[in-house]
Amino acid sequence: MDRLWRGVSVAALWAAWAGGAMILLAAVVVTAEVVSRKLLSFTFSGSDEIAAYLFAVGTSWSMAHVLVTRGHVRIDVLYGALGPRGKAAFDLLALVGLAVLVVAIVDRAGALFLDNLAGNNRSNTPLRILLAWPQAPWVAGFVLFLAATGLAFVRSLQARV
């Protein structure tokens, strides 16, 4: 189990770095478009679309790392007042709730990806990007998040036994 957790932790770290780079790149693309429009009276279409794809993928790729590093927001006032058993119960409850949410996200995002892949659907923009292209890495980020959530739950159960 520890080896699996280390593997997911490393994958999550690399994904978070790549996700951060994508979000930074999205900011650069939008900034370049705004500056060129203002100073050069030149605009390139699709910068908002590209930035949105980069932001979506970058965000989904970063979620597993936040879980692995325990960076999610907790209600520390209540949590700190609990004993070890209460904390364990809250941790498990939080992981179950998170797992339910992530399963729903993976289900819907995966279905959307598969529908767009099968239909060869393109964006309704001048770029006409095949929607499955940005959706594949987007869904992969959620799958990594789901794997991290499942492993965190199992590890939490093992620690309590």
Q: What is the pLDDT along the chain (161 residues), one digit of tens a residue?
A: 889 999 999 999 999 999 999 999 999 999 999 999 999 988 888 889 999 999 999 999 999 999 999 887 766 778 888 888 888 888 899 899 999 999 999 999 999 999 999 999 999 999 999 999 999 999 999 999 999 999 999 998 887 65
**Torsion sign (Cα): 32, 38, 41, 44:** positive
Q: What is the pLDDT of residue 160?
A: 66
Q: What is the pLDDT of residue 77?
A: 76
Boundaries of every domain in the chain = 2-160
Phi, psi of 126 (to 5 degrees): -60, -25
In degrees to the nearest 10, what's the CA dihedral of 72, 76, 79, 83?
Answer: 120
Q: What is the pLDDT of residue 158?
A: 83
Residue 25 in tokens: 């790149």
Q: What is the pLDDT of residue 119?
A: 97
In contact, 125 and 46? CB cutoff 8 Å? yes
Single-letter residue type at 46: G
pTM for the full predicted model: 0.89
Q: What is the pLDDT of residue 136?
A: 98
